[in-house]
């Protein structure tokens, strides 16, 4: 019978066969798939795997630490972090269009990743090259990119960390035959912490596509605070199982009048977008209890400067998409 333990063993053996005594590299996004793929490969080839984490500055609170401490602590994997937040911000400056943001982020991601790869190749004392690139491709991704679905491309989407074109690697895709729930089970089997294994989907372009308007350091800081409050309270209310994901969106170009303390405010709205879904293709807005919404709204307006209004998105998909951009 197939248990997470023997699936993991079989995948580790297959990776060991594929890579032999070669070296591999894996980009970590902070998400489940790349973490589980990397953990499997680490078990198979140990320190001949190097993980690369590009911190683009668009992550949520605590996510960098999760990769650097929790992932490394539970796997022992070798990790290189690239601090690219400044570059990403500069490149995004003045840009409001969602698809342009995605293109810039995709391009800069590949640039940072390539930079890390050539640094590593230069450092390798024995002159051994890195021949393998690990990717956390799942079965549904394989099916989707087979082009069979016939659905229109609504957003340029997916995997910011696409394969750098001019790097010659053999692909290692240990999760190719698995569905998401199986990936989580294997991750738990490998001892990855629940915060990583149970993480809800989060888009590669990160908070950049949750700021409607230009991305700036101040806006990112503000959104990060609001997002953390929403996550904390939804978790505390025991709603994580019901919610597929809950984008928290800053309407940076909108201001509305409010009153707080003894003064008039003129601040931004934060949108809560909790959705329930099976596969993100369709979604319904989650009926979060009023009490929880109240706590989130009070905390965000009290604790996040320049935000004076919290609104709830009650649109299903279709016609809305899950993300606002």
Give me the half-sphere count of Cα atoms (radius 13 Å) on the Cβ side of residue 206.
27
Q: Specify burial of residue 182 (Cβ count, 10 A radius: 0-12, 13-18, 19+).
A: middle
Residue whose entry in the numeric block shows the structure tokens 């990060």: 224
Total residues interacting with ligand XMP, rule: CB under 6 A: 16
Pairing verdict, β 284-285 and 275-276: antiparallel
Would you count residue 27 as binding ligand XMP (CB under 6 A)? no
Would you count residue 205 as binding ligand XMP (CB under 6 A)? yes
Would you count residue 323 as binding ligand XMP (CB under 6 A)? yes
Q: Which range in 128-136, 156-164, 165-173, 219-227 contacts ligand XMP by CB under 6 A? A: 156-164
Q: Alpha-carbon distance 129 to 127, whole Å?
A: 6
Q: Is 30 annotated as a binding residue?
A: yes
Q: Which is closer to ligand XMP, CB of 247 or CB of 267?
A: 247
Would you count residue 280 as binding ligand XMP (CB under 6 A)? yes
Q: Which is closer to ligand XMP, CB of 157 or CB of 176?
A: 157
Q: Is 31 annotated as a binding residue?
A: yes
Q: Is 145 annotated as a binding residue?
A: no
Helices then strands (H, E): number in the chain?
Answer: 11, 12
Q: Is 73 annotated as a binding residue?
A: no
Would you count residue 201 as binding ligand XMP (CB under 6 A)? yes
Residue whose entry in the numeric block shows the structure tokens 């201001």: 255
Q: Is 33 annotated as a binding residue?
A: yes
Residue-wise over 271-305: b if at least 16 C-beta within 10 A, else e? bbbbbbbeeeeebebbebeeebbebbbebbbeebe
CB count, 10 Å around CB of 21? Answer: 8
Q: Which range in 117-125, 171-179, 199-207, 289-297 contacts ligand XMP by CB under 6 A? A: 199-207
Among 78, 103, 111, 155, binds ligand XMP (CB under 6 A): 155
Q: Indicate left, alpha or beta for 103 from its phi (over 0: left) and psi (-120 to 50: alpha).
A: alpha
Q: Which is closer to ligand XMP, CB of 82 or CB of 249?
A: 249
Longest dimension (CA), the chain: 69
Q: Which is closer to ligand XMP, CB of 4 or CB of 164?
A: 164
- Tell which positions 207-266 bind ligand XMP, by CB under 6 A: 245
Specify binding-site residues for ATP: 29-35
| Residues found near ligand XMP in the complex (CB under 6 A) | 102, 154-155, 157-159, 201, 203-205, 245, 280, 317, 321-323
Specify binding-site residues: 29-35
């Amino acid at each position: 019978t197939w248990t997470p333990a023997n699936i993991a063993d079989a995948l580790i053996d297959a990776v060991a066969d594929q890579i032999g005594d070669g070296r591999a590299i894996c980009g970590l996004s902070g998400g489940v798939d790349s973490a589980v793929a990397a953990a499997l490969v680490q078990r198979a080839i140990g320190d001949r795997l190097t993980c690369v984490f590009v911190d683009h500055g668009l992550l949520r609170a605590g996510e960098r630490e999760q990769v650097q401490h929790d992932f490394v602590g539970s796997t022992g994997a070798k990790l290189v972090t690239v601090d690219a937040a400044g570059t990403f911000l500069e490149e995004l400056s003045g840009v409001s269009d969602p698809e342009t943001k995605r293109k810039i982020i995709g391009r800069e991601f590949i640039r940072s990743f390539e930079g890390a790869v050539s640094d590593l190749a230069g450092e390798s004392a024995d002159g051994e090259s890195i021949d393998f690139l690990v990717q956390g491709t799942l079965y549904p991704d394989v099916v989707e990119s087979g082009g069979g679905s016939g659905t229109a491309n609504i957003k340029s989407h997916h995997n910011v960390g696409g394969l750098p074109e001019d790097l010659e690697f053999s692909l290692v895709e240990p999760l190719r035959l698995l569905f998401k729930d199986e990936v989580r089970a294997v991750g738990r089997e490998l001892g990855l912490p629940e915060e990583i294994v149970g993480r809800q989907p989060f888009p590669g372009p990160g908070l950049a596509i949750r700021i409607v308007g230009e991305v700036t350091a101040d806006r990112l800081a503000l959104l990060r605070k609001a997002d953390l409050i929403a996550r904390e309270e939804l978790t505390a209310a025991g709603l994580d199982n019901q919610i597929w994901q809950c984008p928290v969106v800053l309407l940076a170009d909108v201001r509305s009048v409010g009153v707080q303390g003894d003064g008039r405010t003129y601040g931004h709205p934060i949108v809560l977008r909790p959705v329930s879904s099976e596969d993100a293709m369709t979604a319904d807005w989650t009926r979060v209890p009023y009490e929880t919404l109240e706590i989130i709204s009070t905390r965000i307006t009290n604790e996040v400067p320049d935000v004076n209004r919290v609104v709830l998105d009650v649109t299903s998909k279709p016609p809305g998409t899950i993300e606002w951009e």
